[in-house]
Each structure stands twice: as structure tokens, then as C-alpha cells.
Amino acid sequence: MATLEKIRSKSVLLLIIVGLALLAFIIGDFVNSGSSFFNQKKMVVAEVDGEDIKLEDFLSAVEQTTKVYEIEMNTPSLNEEMTEQVHQSVWETMVREKVLKEEAAEVGMVITKDELFDHILGENIHPVILQRQLFFNPQTGMFDKNVLAQFISYIDDPNANIPEDYKTYWRYWEHAVKNFLLEDKYNTLLSKMLVANDLDVKLAADLNAGKVDILYAVQPYYAVPDSVVSVSDKEIEDRYKATKEQYKKNISTCTISYAAFDIKPLAADYDELEAWIKNLIPEFATTTDIAGIVNANSDNRYVDVALAKTDVDVEFRDSAFAGTKGDIFGPIFINNVYKVARLVETGIQSPDSVKLSHIYVVEDTKEHTKALADSLLKVINEGGNFANLAKEYSRVSQTAERGGEIGWVREVVVDSEIAEKAFHTLAGKVFTIENASGIQIFRVDEVSPKVPKVKLAVIERELIPSSKSQNIIYSEAKQFVAGCKNKQAFDQKAQEQGVDITPVYATINDYRIGNIKNSRQVVRWAFTQKDGAVSDVFECDDKFVVAAVSDMNEDEYRTLSSVADEIKYQLLKEKKADYLAEAVKGKTLASLVGEGLRIDTLKNVMFETQQMSRVGNEPKLFALAALGADANPVKGENGVYIFKKLQRTNVEDPLSETKEKQMLESRFAYPVPYLAMEVLKEKSNIKDKRYIAY
């Protein structure tokens, strides 16, 4: 009974414990079962009109576009700048495709298979295909439809041994053409809706019927010191409120202020490298293994070829052609590189260049390759047509189409094994070079006159910061940031120590800060911090960087503090315009000459003139002058103007109404592609989350 009573007294506690246990179980089960939901949300790089762009799709497109760039640029990898271009290109393409897709669907707009074929391999091949050098004819250097057709046939042939990268390359451009066609069709539809009416045509004709010559004087804004006018914080704030919409954004921003410490060689590095190269000179001067010592110690490998005067570094040129075998030149220090040279051989006389043709023979076995090469050599030596044989048997298609012709080459730019034979073979004779892949039969077509040459061995070593120097510079950066608990302390210490601080307006997607390479890591750090945070030391390529964060803003608009300088600049310009306008009000050009202003003329000014060489971009001045308006003074873009019309002449052969109408409608249509896309983007409520991808 006592036990039962005890249980009853604790029943509320038991119910709470059991309830909490059940709640924990339910929440745990939800979190576990819903983890894929949360992960999916994290794997989205953007939302466009409520539709997700998934991370895997974005990265796949980046990979595809990277392959295309590598093929286009003939490079195995892209540098940081090109990688940034790829990411931006993919982003723009995916967003444009998403926002246009729904609009096109609403009006039933599509690109048919026949349309796509016509712009890929038909009568109206799209410019984006015509510009691809992969489809150029090697002989003409121009686009060749047959080359394109052959490429596509290989891509479509399941039995063809085509690298996957080239399939990716073609799919990319085929898809690009389809998107370009759809966008062009949509823009054409919008453009055709913009029509110039009779009133538009008459007004345009009247405005453009004449041109004027004017006499003018200008008081430039830069002539007025900032101290003459003033802008208050209240004025800046009021202008910000009035123009806030132009500072709208859809992405997190902040200001990153950074100090950069160059990772550069210190004095000890100069001394060490100079001592090293001087200690190497005795061995370099006496060794019989010149190639061995150069290749073991130089940044560049030894090239055992004869060099004409223009092929020798300018620092050694005169000495090399005036010296004797075995002479040592240097060491010298130039462009951050130490160099020392040894004259290996002098008195060489050989052609400056030779003209070569070749047949590259490759068969299924080494024996078959040798047999075919021997047969071709026999035919050539018996007077056979080298060009025809090259077209039929050479495996290098670019030169085979030209009858094997390589063209003129200089000794310094070809492989030393080829140079050794090519520059010592008479014109019209042949020689062979065999490698692991096949056999090349070369013919020397022509030989230029002989010129003096030398052989020169050069040891070059670039001066780079040692690990010790890097540690010293790192310690300097570390000491600078020590004790900087917030941005205020950071700024104060920089001022005390004379360290330059560079502020940059940054978005969460930026690849770098300023021009600092490999500084994405600083951006990532900044957007995990609160205002006033100061970083540790980052190593960014050739600099150590310390940064501080301010103006962290996840709101819809840029903050007042981040745009205050821009607003202040504009307000100062406006106040200077008012100041100068008041100063010249009621004055004549003659009186302004007396005050030291220069008078000049502008000829053939028309209403639609935007820019002229003497004054730059001053559309307001030009329009008022062309209209004959008495509008002095004119507050222009660059200064305040006083002008006087000298004469007006009618335009010879003015446009007919039909042509004027065409010109107007063309002008109406010109901004449509840009403006239409911007409007579509704005209404699509794009949420940019690319930062999770890199």
C-alpha cells in the first residue's frame, strides 16, 4: 500500500519523463527521416521563380563548360581567372534558360528539330558554330562545312573511337545554339511589338533636320575644390532614402578591409643565390658534361642547338659572338633571374632556317611501319611525287592536306634531333627520324643562306623567397594582427604602423578580394563572421592577407554606410554645378575670356550627338544647342558650359519617312534583348546561393 501510494505521488513526474522520451523519439525519427530533405535544401545553388537549380546540375555544367574551354584554348587546365569565367558563364546560362523557359512556353514558342538542323548543318549555320576553330579547314584557315559534317558523323557513330571530351564539346554547342535561337525568337517577338507612329517619325525628322556650330566655354568641376562646397550626413541620408531602389540587391554583402603582405625575396635570399651561382661557376667552366650540370641546376633545360645572333639572350649576344670557346659570361641579375653562360662552340655556319615537308608513317606494328617507310623512301629516291605520297600515307592530317608541307622552321624551335639533320641536309634531300610512335620522312624543300651561329649553355635561376623569408613575412603579418580584437583596433594599428588597408565591397559569391589571387578563402571566412571581426593570416598565392569585416548585410538593400561615398561624390558634383552656374550666370563668352577661360568651337552638333572629342560625353549640351534653346548656363556631365550658336545648316539628303521609321524602330529594338532579360530575372525572384559550390 505504501509502495502504491509512492507511485501515485510520483505519477506526474513519470508522465513528464515518459512524454519527454516519446517527444525525443519522435523528433529523432523526424530528423533522421527528414535528413535527406534538409540535405536537399543545402544542395540547391539557386531558386528561379520557385524552381531549384541543384548543386549537382550546376557542377555538372561547370565541368562540361570547363572541358569546352580547355579544348577551345588547347590547354590541359584553366587558371583561376578562367575558372571564374566558367562559373559566371554557367550561372548566366542556367538562369537565362530558366527564366526564358516559362515565358516561351506560355506563348507556345519552341525550336523544332528542323530549325535546329538548319542552324547547325543546314543553310543558315549559326555564328556560334561558324566561329569554332575546330571546324576550320587547315589549308584555308576558314570554317569548312565538310569538316563539321565529318566531326558530327564521328560523334554519332557508336563504333567511332571518339574521346568523351569531344562528345561533351559538341553537346555543349548544340545546346547553346538551341538556347540562342529561342532567345532570339523571343526578342524578335518583343521587338516587332515596338512600332514608331507618325508623330514619332515627324519629331525625329524635325530634330535631326539640322546641325549647328557653337562657340563655348567650360568651367570643369575638378577646378572647384571640395572645400568650397559641403555635403552633410543628413543630405547623404536623404538622397539614400530617395534613391534606395537603385541599391537593391538579392545577395549577402559586406565590406572586407584587408592588409596584404607581399611574399617576396629578402636581402638574404639575394646573397644566398648569388653565392650559390658563383660557387657553381668553376665546375660549370670545366665540366665535360655540360648538359648534365645545366639540367641539374638551371630552371631551363640545356638545348644542344646552334643559335643565331637573334636567338641569344640580349645580355650575352655581343659577348658570345666576340668570345672564344669556353668563355664564361656573368653572373648577371635581370628581371629577378640570375644567369651565367658558357660558350660551348663558335664559328658555326649554318642556314638561318629551312623549309620542311614530312610524311608521318604509323602502321599497326613496328615492322609494318618500317616496311612502309622503306617503300616510300625508295619511291621518293626514284623521283616519286612527295606531296601525293604525303596526302595518301601521312597520319598527320593537317600537313597531309598540304602535301606534307610544314613550312619554314628555325633551328632553335625544332627538336634537336631533327635540327641536327635538317640543317645539315641539302635542299631536295630526305632524312628520317624514328620514335616510339612511328617514322617521319622529312624532305628539305629549301635552305636559307648560312649565318654565323654559336652554341651557348645558360644556367638560369629565378630568385624566389626562401622558407626562412616566408616565415619572417608571415611573422610580420602575425604580429600586425596580434591584439586586434575588432576592426577599430585593426584600423588604428594599421595607421600607427603605416600599413595600407584596402576596403572592398564584397558579395558572398565573389571569387576574390580586389586583385588578390586565391583569396576566395577570405570571402568564405568573412561571411561566417559578424561586423568588426578580424581574421587570422591567410596565405593567398604570393601574399599573406589579414582582413576585417564591416557592413555585413543580408537585407534587400545595400547599407547607407556602404554607398555613402558614392552618394557624397554625386552630391558634391551637383553642388559644384550649382556653384559654377551661379558664378557664370548672366556672363557673356567675352567676359569669360577676360577671366582666363578658354573659348573653343564644336562643329556639326546634332540633337542625337552623344559624344565629341573636345568635351567628351555631354548629351545635354548637344541637345540644347541643336534645339537652339537659350539655356545658359548648362550643367553638363563634366562641367558648366556657356555657349553661343554660330550657325545652323540643314542636313543634306535627310532620311525619308520610311527610313526614319526604320531607324527609330531599330533604335527601339536595340535594348530589348538586355532589358527583356533583366525584367524576366527581376520577376523571377532569383535566390542566388552559388557560394555553396566553391
Average of per-residue pLDDT values in the chain: 88
Average pLDDT rounded to a whole number, residues 551-557: 87
> pLDDT of 178-214, one tens digit each?
999 999 999 999 998 888 888 888 888 888 788 999 9
Instruction: Give percent of the chain above pLDDT 90.
Output: 61
249-264+466-556 shares its CATH topology with 353-448: yes
Rounded to the nearest angstrom, the gap between the alpha carbon of residue 443 and the centroid of all alpha carbons in its chain is 43
* DSSP code at position 390: H
pLDDT for position 498? 94
Q: Taking 70 as the threshold, does the pLDDT of residue 353 lie above it?
A: yes
Q: Taking 90 as the threshold, does the pLDDT of residue 294 lie above it?
A: yes
SS3 396: coil
Residue 663 pLDDT class (50, 70, 90 cuts): confident
pLDDT for position 468? 96
* DSSP code at position 136: E
pLDDT for position 42? 60
Domain residues of the chain, as ranges?
Answer: 47-191, 210-242+562-653, 249-264+466-556, 267-350, 353-448
> pLDDT of 72-103, one tens digit each?
998 889 998 899 999 999 999 999 999 998 88
pLDDT for position 243? 94
Residue type, 551: D
The span from the CA of 520 to the CA of 511, in Å, is: 5
State the cell numbers at 481: 594582427
Only one residue has cell 530575372, namely 681
Going by C-alpha positions, the residue among 68, 54, 41 that lies closest to residue 98 is 54
Q: Taking 60 as the threshold, does the pLDDT of residue 36 lie above it?
A: no
Q: Taking 80 as the threshold, does the pLDDT of residue 540 lie above it?
A: yes
Q: Tell me the Ramachandran region of residue 300: left when phi exceeds 0, alpha when psi lies from -120 to 50, beta otherwise.
A: beta
SS3 488: helix
pLDDT for position 432? 94
Residue 47 CA: distances (Å) to CA of 54, 55, 310, 492, 595: 9, 11, 59, 42, 62
Helix H, strand E, coil C: the string for 34-91 is: CHHHHHHHHCEEEEECCEEEEHHHHHHHHHHHHHHHHHHHCCCCCCHHHHHHHHHHHH
State the cell numbers at 265: 625575396
Q: Taking 60 as the threshold, does the pLDDT of residue 12 lie above it?
A: no
pLDDT for position 18? 37
Class of domain 353-448: alpha beta
Average pLDDT rounded to a whole number, residues 571-587: 92
DSSP 525-584: HHTTS-TT-B---EEETTEEEEEEEEEEE-SSB--HHHHHHHHHHHHHHHHHHHHHHHHH
pLDDT for position 562? 86
> pLDDT of 376-392, one tens digit each?
999 999 999 999 999 98
Residue 535 pLDDT class (50, 70, 90 cuts): very high
Angle at 428 between CA 426 and CA 430, to 5 degrees: 80
DSSP 205-262: HHHTSEEEEEEEEEEEGGGS-GGGS---HHHHHHHHHHTGGGGB-SS-EEEEEEEEEE
Determine phi and psi for 410, rounding to 5 degrees. -105, 155
Q: Taking 90 as the threshold, does the pLDDT of residue 124 lie above it?
A: yes
pLDDT for position 624? 92
Residue 287 CB: number of other CB atoms within 10 A? Answer: 14
SS3 362: coil
The span from the CA of 71 to the CA of 228, in Å, is: 59
Q: Taking 60 as the threshold, does the pLDDT of residue 13 lie above it?
A: no
Range 249-264+466-556 has CATH code 3.40.720? no
The larger pLDDT score, comparing residue 364 to residue 479, is at 479
Q: Tell me the Ramachandran region of residue 455: left when phi exceeds 0, alpha when psi lies from -120 to 50, beta otherwise.
A: beta
Rg (CA), the chain: 37
> pLDDT of 591-632, one tens digit each?
888 887 888 999 999 988 889 988 999 999 999 998 888 788
> pLDDT of 202-253, one tens digit each?
888 888 788 999 999 999 999 899 999 999 999 999 999 999 999 988 789 9
pTM of the predicted model, to two decimals?
0.69
Average pLDDT rounded to a whole number, residues 408-415: 87
